[in-house]
Structure 1
Amino acid sequence: MHVLIAPDRFSGPLNAVQAARALASGWAETVPTDRLSLLPMSDGAAGLLDVVMAARGGSLVPVSADGPLGAPTVAAVLHVPGDGGGTAYVEADQVLGTHLVPRERAHAAKDGSSAGLAALLEAAVATNAGRIVVGLPTVAATHDGGRGLLGALGGATAAREVLARRDLVLAVADDLPLLGLHGAGALLGEDPDVGPALAQELERDLGAMTADLERQAGPPPNPVLLSAGTEERHGRLASSPGSGAGGGVAFALRLLGARPMPGADVVAGAVGLAGAVARADLVLTGSAVFDAPALTQSVVATVARTALDRALPVVVVAEEIRTSRREVAPLGISGTYEVQDTSRLRPRLAAPPAADLETAVRARARRLARTWSTS
Structure 2
Amino acid sequence: MNILIAPDSFKGSLTAAEAGRAIAEGIKKAVPHAQVKVVPMADGGEGTIAALAENETSRLQPASVHDPLMRPIEISYLVMEYEGKPTALVECAKSSGLTLLMDDERSAVKANTYGLGEQIKAALDDGFRQVIISLGGSASNDGGLGMLQALGWKLFDRCRNEISPSGNPLLPIESMSDEQIHPAIRQTRFLAASDVVNPFYGSEGAAFVFAPQKGADEKEVVLLDQALRKAARLYEEMYNVDVQGVKGSGAAGGLGGAVAAALRGETISGIDMVIQLTGLENHVKWADFVITGEGSLDGQSLFGKVPVGVAKLAKLHRKPVIAIAGRLGTEIEALHSYFDGIFSIQTDCLSPKQAMQPEVAVYQTRKTTEQLFRLYTLNK
Give the TM-score of the pair, scaled to structure 2. 0.86
Distance 2:192 2:179 in 1: 19
1:84 and 1:320, CA in 2 relative to 1: closer, same or farther beyond 3 A?
A: closer
Structure 1 residue 56 displacement after superposition: 4.0
Contact 1:96 1:246 (8 Å CA) reproduced: no
Distance 1:21 1:288 in 2: 15
Contact 2:299 2:331 (8 Å CA) reproduced: no
1:285 and 1:161, CA in 2 relative to 1: closer, same or farther beyond 3 A?
A: same
Which amino acid letter does the alignment assign opposite residue 315 of structure 1? Answer: I
Distance 1:179 1:276 in 2: 40
Cα deviation, 1:108-161, whole Å, max 9, x if unaligned, reads 311222111122112222444453221111x52111101111122112565584
1:82 and 1:294, CA in 2 relative to 1: closer, same or farther beyond 3 A?
A: closer
Distance 1:127 1:251 in 2: 25
Q: Aligned runs of 1:239-278 on 2, under 5 Å?
A: 239-255=245-261, 256-278=263-285
Q: Indicate the larger mover: 168-177 or 283-292.
A: 168-177
Contact 2:92 2:116 (8 Å CA) reproduced: yes
Contact 1:188 1:199 (8 Å CA) reproduced: no
Contact 2:152 2:182 (8 Å CA) reproduced: no
Distance 1:174 1:9 in 2: 18
Structure 1 residue 38 displacement after superposition: 0.8
Partner of 2:341 in structure 1? 335
State the SS of the aligned residue for 2:197.
coil
Q: Indicate the larger mover: 349-358 or 20-29.
A: 349-358
Partner of 1:363 in structure 2? 367
Partner of 2:193 in structure 1? 171
Q: What count of residue pairs does the alignment treat as equivalent?
A: 351
Cα deviation, 1:3-22, whole Å, max 9, x if unaligned, reads 11000000324110110111
Structure 1 residue 87 displacement after superposition: 2.2
State the SS of the aligned residue for 1:191.
helix
Cα deviation, 1:240-277, whole Å, max 9, x if unaligned, reads 32111221122111111221122111111111111111
Contact 1:85 1:129 (8 Å CA) reproduced: no
Segments of 4+ moved more than 6 angstroms:
none
State the SS of the aligned residue for 1:247.
helix
Structure 1 residue 218 displacement after superposition: 2.5
Q: Indicate the larger mover: 236-245 or 123-132.
A: 123-132
Partner of 2:299 in structure 1? 292
Partner of 2:150 in structure 1? 152
Partner of 2:225 in structure 1? 203
Which amino acid letter does the alignment assign opposite residue 32 of structure 2? Answer: P
Contact 2:294 2:326 (8 Å CA) reproduced: yes
State the SS of the aligned residue for 1:21.
helix
Q: Give yes or no for the alignment of 1:116 onto 2:101.
A: no
Contact 2:49 2:78 (8 Å CA) reproduced: yes
State the SS of the aligned residue for 1:61.
strand
State the SS of the aligned residue for 2:372.
helix
Partner of 2:98 in structure 1? 98
Q: Aligned runs of 1:1-375 on 2, under 5 Å?
A: 1-81=1-81, 85-105=85-105, 108-137=107-136, 139-155=137-153, 156=178, 159=181, 161-191=183-213, 193-219=215-241, 236-255=242-261, 256-322=263-329, 326-331=333-338, 333-341=339-347, 349-351=350-352, 352-354=355-357, 355-373=359-377
Gaps of 5+ in 2: 154-177
1:281 and 1:96, CA in 2 relative to 1: closer, same or farther beyond 3 A?
A: same
Partner of 1:233 in structure 2? none
Q: Let me know the Cα RMSD of the aligned residues.
A: 2.2
Which amino acid letter does the alignment assign opposite residue 118 of structure 1? Answer: G
State the SS of the aligned residue for 1:3.
strand
State the SS of the aligned residue for 2:9.
coil
1:79 and 1:323, CA in 2 relative to 1: closer, same or farther beyond 3 A?
A: same
Which amino acid letter does the alignment assign opposite residue 286 of structure 2? Answer: R
